[in-house]
Amino acid sequence: MYCQSSLVRIFEPATILVLPVTINKIFANFDNYLPLNEQEREALASRVIERTIRRRQFILQEGDICKHYTFVAEGCFKIYHVDKKGVEHNLQFVAENDWIMELDSFYADKPSRVYIEAIEPSVILQIKKEDLFYLFTNIPKFDRNFRVIVENRYVELENRILQAISSTAEERYLSFLDHYPQLSQRLPGTQIASYLGITPEFLSKIRKDISKKH
Amino acid sequence: MYCQSSLVRIFEPATILVLPVTINKIFANFDNYLPLNEQEREALASRVIERTIRRRQFILQEGDICKHYTFVAEGCFKIYHVDKKGVEHNLQFVAENDWIMELDSFYADKPSRVYIEAIEPSVILQIKKEDLFYLFTNIPKFDRNFRVIVENRYVELENRILQAISSTAEERYLSFLDHYPQLSQRLPGTQIASYLGITPEFLSKIRKDISKKH
DNA sequence: AAATACCCTTAATATAGTTTAAGGGTGTTA
DNA sequence: TAACACCCTTAAACTATATTAAGGGTATTT
């Protein structure tokens, strides 16, 4: 496989590909779906931009139009909405080896209603819309893989809705701990409260109540 | 286009296709995405099963494995979960010209955690998993179209999460009225309350409060 | 070292939503 | 016509969660 791609490169116009090490994380991620062969990996790698993001830096703000599909190689982001009263509500956390997409804005060219902000120093890989469309059109496997990525995300969201409408705040918190054990260590309680749809004060009470039970 | 497909039919083994009238609703639905040509329509039509469903009939029960992707041609369904206390929680309503999919069960062959039940007498068109996979593999447009169907659904769900964690029950109700004006007429309040994550009694109070304001 | 920003906790009071109970309306079945 | 199932409404008592206010801890900036 390696040989084949080397040969191809010889006959192609000299495109110098500096493959960032982090790109391997994307390949490993695709291995969970339909693994990419060497040629497909190059097609992807040559269309990916690596960026280093500081803590509290935004990669999307309300009103912006989302131009990229983003893979988180390192770090963690929050996707949140600010309501009329100015209160932040966390929709999702996205940590390393997962995808960030603001689909509504990305596909419909609509101004985003959410912010996407780094909670930790992060490294991301971004694909521009036209590059993604190129991959969709020319390599059907990408169409397939990105369908599956969205499907998996859909299942997660469905579970979250279920929790939101049928569980108490304490149950939701316990389920959060269960589902995101790493994140619960890394995130401040204020962020978790915003994700659970409760106040930090009430989260504090829940934590006390839980610790009393032991 | 029509000619071409007619010719093809002559040389194929005689498959008599009795196209149900309702299939046109599926074609019209695909016109919102990437429209199907005549051949693709036939490929789809020959793999679709039409079923008439009575009120209160289930097309999926908890524990079943979801074997079909379902298009609602007429009528209305609710997708709901039953919690440990036996309380029903409506995740979604799906009415005519929309798709029902229980993705987690369908793709992972996992027992479903939800019920899908007709609220009204309904007509559906179903595609079996292997037939859908056939379409995905052989006609890339289906891969694309079903990606877009899921993406649209994802955006809807994201909006619902946002509402669930950041709005009061009254705001959620008003937004439901706004978003599903037809459904709000057709559904009993008990079902709407279950969708909003509140009790029927509280919905009743909300309705009174709203009418007072006018 | 002092000042500041951020986070966590506690507690009192207020509001949003549930539970229970009772009664009335309508449509369907015996 | 009676009986029943289903839905809607009201109200009182109760519980879950929000709001406000205050104080303390720790890390970062000045």
Which domains does chain A possess?
A: 2-166 (2.60.120.10)
In this prediction, residue B6 has a pLDDT band, given cuts at 50, 70 and 90, of very low
Checking each nucleotide's C1' against the CA of B188, the nearest proves to be: D7
Residues of B in contact with A165 (CB under 8 A): 89, 91, 164, 195-197
CA distance A10 to chain B (A): 31
Rounded distance between C-alpha atoms, residue B70 and residue B97, angstroms: 10
Q: Give me the residue from B107, B151, B165 closest to A164, CB to CB.
A: B165
DSSP state of A65: B
Residues 6+ apart with CB under 8 A from A179: none
Q: Which of B95, B114, B106, B101 is nearest to B186 (CA)?
A: B95
- Outline where B31-139 has alpha helix (H): 38-45, 103-108, 129-138
pLDDT at B15: 52
For testing contact with chain B, the best of A104, A155, A158 (most B CBs within 10 A): A158
**Do the strands A76-82 and A115-118 form a parallel or antiparallel pair, or are they unpaired?**
antiparallel
Place of tokens 């978003």: B179
Q: Give me the residue from B89, B158, B161 closest to A166, CB to CB.
A: B89
In residues, how long is chain A? Answer: 214
Instruction: Write the pLDDT tens digit of every residue in A46-67.
Output: 999 999 999 889 999 999 999 9
AA letter at B137: T
In this prediction, residue A17 has a pLDDT band, given cuts at 50, 70 and 90, of low
Instruction: Write the pLDDT tens digit of every residue in B102-134.
Output: 998 999 899 999 999 998 889 999 999 999 999
pLDDT at B18: 54
Summarize the confidence of residues A116-138 as an average pLDDT. 94
Rounded CA–C1' distance between B200 and D2, in angstroms: 29
Rounded CA–C1' distance between B188 and C27, in angstroms: 14
Q: Give me the residue from B140, B144, B157 closest to A157, CB to CB.
A: B157
| pLDDT above 90 coverage of chain B, percent | 71
Neighbours of A63 (CB within 10 A): 10
Rounded CA–C1' distance between A87 and C21, in angstroms: 39
pLDDT at A61: 94
Q: Give the least confident one: A9-18, A88-97, B186-195.
A: A9-18
Return the structure tokens found at B4: 């071409």
Rounded distance between C-alpha atoms, residue A48 and residue B208, angstroms: 55
Checking each nucleotide's C1' against the CA of A208, the nearest proves to be: C9
Instruction: Write the pLDDT tens digit of every residue in B136-182.
Output: 989 988 988 998 899 999 999 999 998 898 899 999 999 999 999 98
Asked whether the beta carbons of A83 and B175 are under 8 A apart, the reply is: no
pLDDT at A18: 55
Residues A91, B164: C-beta atoms closer than 8 Å:
no
pLDDT at A19: 62
For testing contact with chain B, the best of A80, A154, A194 (most B CBs within 10 A): A154
Q: How many CB pairs under 8 A join A and B?
A: 84
In this prediction, residue B11 has a pLDDT band, given cuts at 50, 70 and 90, of very low
Rounded distance between C-alpha atoms, residue B181 and residue B184, angstroms: 5
Asked whether the beta carbons of A118 and A15 are under 8 A apart, the reply is: no
Give yes or no for residue A38 having a pLDDT over 70. yes
Q: Which of A190, A161, A59 is nearest to B159 (CA)?
A: A161
pLDDT at A214: 64
